[in-house]
Amino acid sequence: EIVLTQSPGTLSLSPGESAILSCRASQSVARLAVAWYQQKPGQSPRLLIYDTSTRAPGIPDRFSGSGSPTDFTLTISRLDPDDFALYYCHQFGHAVATFGQGTKVEI
């Protein structure tokens, strides 16, 4: 099973700053099999990025994804108050899909 390790666990930033979230995989993962989700308290996760770097419909361009094959990054430029949430990376390129443990972006 591939382990995804996200860092940092918590990111304390201010609106307008940039956030860089890391997701390291214990084995190589195909770029097409990496996604990022945002989850706010009391809500379901929402797809932000798929195929490592493609924004899901309706996702602002301040969200961007990059990386491969074991190191993946989600960058949030110009943090909006609405962006303070929990973020998960996800790989589904191997038999057992896995999620990272999450990075909390807080004010």
Partner 1 sequence: DVQLVQSGAELKKPGESLKISCQASGYTFSTYWIVWVRHLPGKGLEYMGMIYPGDSDARYTPSFQGQVTFSVDTSINTAYLQWTSLKDSDSGVYYCARGSRGSPLAGPLDSWGQGSLVTVSS
What's the rounded Cα separation, in Å, for the pair 89 and 80?
Answer: 20
Q: Under rule CB under 8 A, how many of the chain's residues touch partner 1?
A: 22
For residue 76 the two structure tokens come to 């949030």
Residues 48-77 that bind partner 1 (CB under 8 A): 50-51, 56
Instruction: Between 24 and 92, name the residue whose CB sits nearer to partner 1.
Output: 92
Closest approach, Cβ 10 to partner 1, in A, equals: 14
Of 21-29, 60-68, 73-81, 84-92, the window that binds partner 1 (rule: CB under 8 A) is 84-92
Task: Please tell me what DSSP assigns to residue 56.
Answer: P
What's the rounded Cα separation, in Å, for the pair 87 and 35?
Answer: 11
Closest approach, Cβ 91 to partner 1, in A, equals: 8
Torsion 35-25-93-100 (CA) sign: negative
- Contact call for residues 33 and 89 (beta carbons, < 8 A): no
- Which residues contact partner 1 by CB under 8 A? 33, 35, 37, 44-47, 50-51, 56, 88, 90-93, 96-102
